[in-house]
Amino acid sequence: MANSIPVEERLIVALDVPTAAEARAMIDTLGDAVVFYKIGLELFMSGDYFELLDYLTNQHKKIFVDLKFFDVPATVGRAVAQLNGRGVTFATIHGNDSIMRAAAENKGDVQILAVTVLTSLDRGDLDDLGFSCDVEKLVLSRAKRACEIGCDGVVASGHEAKAMREQLGHNFMVVTPGIRPVDNDDDQKRVVTPAQAFENGADYIVVGRPIRDADDPRQAAIELQAAIATALP
């Protein structure tokens, strides 16, 4: 599976900006340096989500709908079905087996990614949420169930990707957020560099702030693409 992914598509840029106008400006700035974009909850609340989705489609970009659907299974299934035929490649869900199954049964031409454990959470956060197992065991458990149920892959930290590949194989996708080219002091806790992510078995990486906040976002994207090409076997 991994070898069939074009190198330039392995970088997914997160459009974590408050308005569709700012998102379009970023897309135009990055130009042909980026093929794949993630649009999430902040832009959904702007009211222009589907207009932006259509803009990306018209620009021949690939689209990752990151809304982490979590609701009554029937509602999740109907919500996922609404994405069919819209040019969406990935969509995220977050929930138990019945929620994941409803999404998988209604995915149509959309590939479903199950969120394992958010990269903004660490061991102390899981304690607060009432999870007694360690992060890696929880991620592995959720990934195994997601793939058995019919999801196409998972969203998981690069820290757990290696164990997932060793124990669960390569017949599913691993999309890794929390990518930081250098040390960081933001709200992402379980972070890795691009090279570490791919070495550990990621198929795609999601990058937001290191590109969005760069002095030259296009150059930052170009440098990340070069780092990805170097990191791949």
Which range has the worst mean pLDDT, 60-74, 108-122, 135-149, 194-208? 108-122
9-223 placed in CATH 3.20.20.70:
yes
Task: For residue 91, give the nearest of 102, 75, 77, 107 by alpha carbon.
Answer: 107
The ranges assigned to domains in the chain are: 9-223
Q: What is the pLDDT of residue 7?
A: 96
Residue 181 predicted with pLDDT over 70: no
The residues, ordered by sequence, that sit 6+ positions from 223 with a Cβ below 8 Å of its Cβ are: none
Catalytic residue among 38, 68, 107, 189: 68
41-49: long-range contacts, CB 8 A cutoff, minimum separation 24: 41/66, 41/67, 41/68, 42/16, 42/17, 42/18, 43/15, 43/17, 43/18, 43/19, 46/18, 46/19, 46/20, 48/19, 48/20, 49/20
Two tokens at 42? 């902040």
Q: Could you tell me which residues are beta bridge partners of residue 93? A: 69, 114
- Separation of alpha carbons 202 and 40, rounded Å: 21
Average model confidence (pLDDT) across the chain: 88
**pLDDT value of position 184:** 46
Which pLDDT score is estimated for 175?
94
Task: Say yes or no to pLDDT of 138 above 80.
Answer: no
pLDDT tens sequence across 46-88:
999 999 999 999 999 999 999 999 999 999 999 999 999 999 9
Tens digit of pLDDT for each residue in 80-112?
A: 999 999 999 999 998 889 999 999 999 999 999
Nearest to 154 by CA among 108, 218, 111, 194: 111
Q: Is the model's pLDDT at 127 over the cut of 70?
A: no
Per-residue pLDDT, 130: 55
Amino acid at 80: V
Asked whether residue 188 carries a pLDDT value surpassing 50, the answer given is no
Section 7-28 average pLDDT:
97
Give the C-alpha distances (Å, rounded to integers) separating 19 from 152, 173, 217.
Answer: 30, 30, 18
Q: What is the reported pTM? A: 0.88
- Residue 162 bears catalytic tag: no
How large a percentage of the chain has pLDDT more than 90?
68
- Average pLDDT in the 193-210 region? 92
